[in-house]
């Protein structure tokens, strides 16, 4: 007995408090998501947002402003690469093939101590004069942003020598499969915007159906709903780092605000996220683009995401550290109520991981208590009426969340993947918990002045090789909604 309570009674008391804490914070998160759900429903019902259906020959079809395939001005494509010999060649060859525009210049950043990647780039280009291989003057890895700054310097030098000015800079990663219609759509978006983002669509991985494929539902919902609402509210547009375009003048203006004249924050783990928000804060208009081809496939950037647990945790650690912790430090809290709402959503990762961890601890404790009560040593936890209401609301919100997750995933990948998305919820939660813990530790270490490095994941598979690159997903029915 301690304090007049037995060990089991202390366990029940702690379980009750833990249940109350987790239940309340789950309801707060549920309220946030339901607000987002109803905002999206209202926008769809009122016709304020929609996915535009392109004609079947979308790569050369007429659009409101002219041919989608033609470029209004020069476009610079930036791809930073470190130890990507396994995929960069496929990316380069495919990109130059499906984007035949003469106004394109592809800048691939490599390092002198990574000759395999540079050789793969040269072989894949097959003498295409639109390729510019840029070797960093420092050994790798530095950071992704540092490599992007080197590419920016190369673009500035080319513009000075050639007497021209690029219209936009498009960011991509070494493992991306670009869409044939994407470049033209980004170019047209620059007519009245300085930032444009296309959806990212992870490719399902049969060999990693639980880890590598869990990104499918996350991006299907984030880029099918959350980013759409964000754009409609006029909130700052964070860039995904792939399939995004930045107006050349806006990028130059951003560089002009930095003491070193470099537009990308080399000491930031999520430089693309920060760049988008900073340009939006400077008054730059942003667009989130949703188009479908005539066969119903989404115009998006496709890629394989990490298939191993350790790699997935590393990647999400970088996202949480960069967006939640560095975003708080570097960008602060400001803007209209819509901006503040989005900042809260962006930075909820560590709290979400904590509440999820407590919820799983609560499940273990409940199991222990149930076994003890079955053995007849004591009765289980008695729920108050208020606690029953909290649990009922949480159960209802979870069922609501399951329906939405299934719906958005099935919309892009089919019913089978939609069902798997629901079954993967515990896996996604465990990854979030592990990444949240790692992000807290990494942030604490960074406070001592530790310089971040390019903590990238390894890639050895490319979606172009799936079904010959022609149909990375099952073809869905065409629809304009």
d(CA 314, CA 203) in angstroms, rounded, equals 19
Q: Which residues of the chain have a pLDDT value below 70?
A: 1-12, 56-69, 369-370, 372-381, 450-454, 467-481
Nearest to 71 by CA among 42, 101, 48: 101
- The confidence score (pLDDT) of residue 378 equals 61
pLDDT tens digits for range 337-376:
999 999 999 999 999 999 999 888 888 877 776 676 666 6
Q: What is the pLDDT of residues 282-309, one digit of tens each?
A: 999 999 999 999 999 999 999 999 999 9
Q: Give bridge partners of residue 195 from the DSSP assignment.
A: 246, 286
Q: What is the CATH number of domain 52-339+461-469?
A: 3.90.550.10
Q: How confident is the model at residue 475, as a pLDDT?
A: 38
pLDDT in tens, 89-137: 999 999 999 999 999 999 999 999 999 999 999 999 999 999 999 999 9
Q: Do 54 and 293 touch, CB atoms closer than 8 A?
A: yes
User: What's the gap between Cα 337 and its chain centre?
Assistant: 23
- Report yes or no on whether pTM surpasses 0.75: yes
Residue 8's nearest CA partner among 389, 374, 390 is: 374
What are the residue boundaries of the structural domains of the chain, listed by start? 7-39+348-446, 52-339+461-469
Short-list 240, 250, 236, 323, CA closest to 281 = 236
Q: Does residue 170 contact residue 186 with C-beta atoms inside 8 Å?
A: yes
């Amino acid at each position: 007995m301690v304090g007049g309570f037995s060990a089991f009674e202390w366990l029940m008391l702690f379980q009750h408090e833990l249940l109350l804490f987790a239940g309340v914070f789950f309801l707060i998160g549920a309220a946030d998501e339901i607000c987002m759900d109803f905002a999206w429903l209202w926008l769809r019902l009122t016709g304020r947002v929609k996915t535009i259906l392109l004609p079947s020959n979308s790569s050369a079809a007429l659009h409101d402003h002219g041919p989608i395939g033609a470029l209004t001005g020069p476009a610079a494509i930036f791809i930073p690469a470190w130890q990507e010999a396994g995929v960069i060649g496929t990316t380069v060859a495919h990109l130059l093939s499906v984007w035949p525009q003469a106004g394109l210049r592809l800048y691939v950043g490599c390092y002198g101590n990574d000759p395999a990647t540079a050789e793969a780039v040269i072989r894949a280009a097959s003498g295409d004069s639109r390729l510019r291989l840029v070797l960093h003057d420092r050994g790798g890895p530095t950071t992704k942003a540092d490599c992007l700054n080197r590419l920016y310097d190369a673009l500035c030098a080319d513009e000075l020598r050639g007497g021209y000015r690029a219209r936009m800079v498009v960011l991509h990663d070494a493992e991306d499969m670009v869409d044939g219609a994407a470049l033209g759509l980004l170019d047209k978006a620059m007519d009245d915007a300085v930032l444009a983002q296309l959806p990212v669509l992870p490719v399902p991985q049969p060999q990693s159906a639980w880890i590598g494929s869990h990104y499918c539902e996350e991006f299907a919902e984030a880029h099918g709903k959350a980013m759409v609402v964000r754009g409609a509210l006029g909130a700052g547009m964070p860039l995904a780092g792939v399939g995004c375009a930045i107006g050349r003048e806006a990028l130059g203006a951003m560089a002009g605000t930095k003491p070193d004249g470099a537009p990308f924050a080399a000491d930031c783990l999520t430089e693309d996220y920060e760049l988008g928000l900073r340009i939006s804060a400077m008054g730059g208009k942003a667009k989130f683009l949703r188009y479908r081809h005539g066969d119903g496939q989404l115009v998006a950037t496709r890629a394989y995401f990490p298939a191993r647990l350790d790699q997935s945790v590393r990647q999400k650690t970088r996202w949480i550290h960069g967006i939640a912790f560095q975003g708080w430090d570097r960008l602060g809290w400001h803007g209209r109520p819509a901006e503040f709402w989005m900042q809260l959503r962006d930075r909820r990762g560590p709290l979400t991981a904590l509440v999820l961890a407590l919820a799983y601890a609560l499940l273990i404790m409940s199991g222990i208590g149930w076994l003890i009560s079955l053995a007849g040593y004591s009765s289980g936890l008695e729920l108050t009426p208020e606690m029953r209401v909290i649990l009922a609301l949480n159960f209802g919100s979870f069922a609501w969340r399951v329906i939405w997750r299934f719906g958005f995933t099935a919309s892009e990948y089919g019913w089978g993947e939609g069902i798997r998305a629901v079954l993967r919820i515990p896996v996604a939660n465990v990854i979030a918990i592990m990444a949240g813990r790692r992000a807290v530790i990494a942030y604490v270490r960074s406070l001592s002045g530790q310089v971040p490095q390019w903590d990238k994941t390894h890639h050895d598979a490319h979606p172009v090789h799936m079904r010959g690159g022609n149909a990375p997903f099952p073809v869905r029915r065409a629809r304009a909604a």
